């Protein structure tokens, strides 16, 4: 059992928030924690490790973010952390690190116990007994699972991923009529229809981009939109996501129907339609469900 002050925890949290505020699209939790670590001087206690093998510094950060999440300041989605508008307001309002963390704890208590206030000047961080342990364990497992799935997809070459997109469309009930072979494709990677003979509009044109970190910009999206006819629907799939301008362009299109699918969307759909994938398709990214006791109450 060891004690970490509100002030120190607040210092760490404010560095974390400073980093995340500059990343409106969020950061993977592990990357965010490593960036905090690179910006501060760890104490000897924080440099140490719990019996589980996790460094105390990382555990302190993860436990403290539970308060911030319940306070509405932080959102965690599939291993990625985002600061909310409420979080930005709190960061600006509570500039004193101690008050910043105490306010997060106060709001957490309101969420959990209907307004009970913290009555000590320290926050207990323990490797075996803590009310937040289940939450942190669950979040860490979810983060690891999604990170491994994303890295697995990134390891695929562009044509392997393109074929996975075709498998997914088939599982969703569409009829994939054509998949582009390696080489120049004129900007269209797949064609699909709502019926086996392609007699019922719309025709679905798909472009697949498997990049590691280059987001699709608005110019690339407009080039794809230019290939769509009046009776076409466009789907652009990108493992690296889309810029804000590209997302806005897709939302405001009036003449052409376009759907954007990023990495998270693709994985969500793969999971949702997993039972309808063919055996061959499942073998390309096999998944297994593991049940956890939910930390939500």
Q: Where in the chain are the domains? A: 2-153, 157-284
Instruction: Give dist(CA 119, CA 113) in Å, integer.
Output: 14
- Please state, in angstroms and rounded to a whole number, the distance separating the CA atoms of residues 294 and 292: 6
Q: Which fold has domain 157-284?
A: Trna Endonuclease; Chain: A, domain 1 (3.40.1350)
- List helix spans (H) across the chain: 6-21, 29-39, 44-47, 56-70, 85-93, 97-113, 133-155, 158-171, 218-225, 244-252, 263-272, 279-284
Burial of 252 (0-12, 13-18, 19+ CB in 10 A): exposed
Going residue by residue through the chain, which has 297 residues, state the pLDDT in tens, using 9 for 90 and above: 356 889 999 999 999 999 999 998 899 999 999 999 999 999 999 999 887 778 899 989 999 999 999 999 999 988 899 999 999 999 999 999 999 999 999 998 888 765 555 455 555 444 434 556 778 888 888 888 999 999 999 999 999 999 999 999 999 999 999 988 876 667 899 999 999 998 888 999 999 998 777 899 999 999 999 999 999 999 999 999 999 999 999 999 988 999 999 999 999 999 999 999 999 999 999 999 888 777 765
């Amino acid at each position: 059992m060891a004690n970490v002050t509100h002030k120190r925890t607040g210092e760490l949290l404010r560095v974390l928030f400073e980093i995340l505020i500059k990343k409106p699209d969020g950061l993977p939790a592990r990357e965010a924690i490593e960036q905090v670590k690179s910006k501060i001087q760890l104490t000897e206690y924080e440099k140490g490790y719990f019996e589980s093998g996790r460094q105390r510094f990382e555990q302190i950060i993860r436990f403290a973010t539970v308060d911030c999440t319940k306070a509405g300041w932080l959102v965690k989605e599939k291993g990625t952390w985002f600061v909310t508008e409420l979080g930005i307001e709190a960061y600006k309002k509570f500039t004193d690190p101690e008050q910043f963390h105490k306010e997060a704890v106060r709001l957490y208590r309101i969420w959990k116990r209907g307004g009970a206030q913290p009555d000590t000047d320290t926050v207990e961080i323990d490797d075996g007994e803590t009310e937040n342990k289940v939450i942190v364990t669950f979040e860490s497992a979810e983060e690891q699972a999604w990170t491994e799935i994303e890295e697995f997809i990134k390891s695929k070459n562009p044509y392997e991923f393109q074929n996975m997109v075709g498998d997914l469309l088939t599982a969703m009930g569409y009829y994939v009529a054509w998949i582009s072979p390696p080489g120049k494709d004129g900007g269209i990677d797949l064609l699909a229809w709502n019926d086996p003979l392609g007699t019922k509009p719309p025709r679905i044109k798909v472009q697949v981009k498997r990049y590691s970190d280059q987001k699709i910009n608005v110019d690339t999206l407009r080039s794809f939109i230019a290939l769509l006819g009046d009776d076409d629907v466009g789907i652009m799939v990108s493992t690296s996501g889309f810029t804000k301008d590209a997302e806005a362009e897709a939302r405001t299109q009036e003449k052409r129907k376009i759907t954007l699918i990023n990495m998270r969307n693709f994985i969500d759909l793969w999971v949702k339609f997993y039972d309808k994938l063919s055996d061959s398709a499942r073998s390309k990214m096999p998944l297994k469900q593991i049940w956890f006791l939910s930390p939500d109450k």
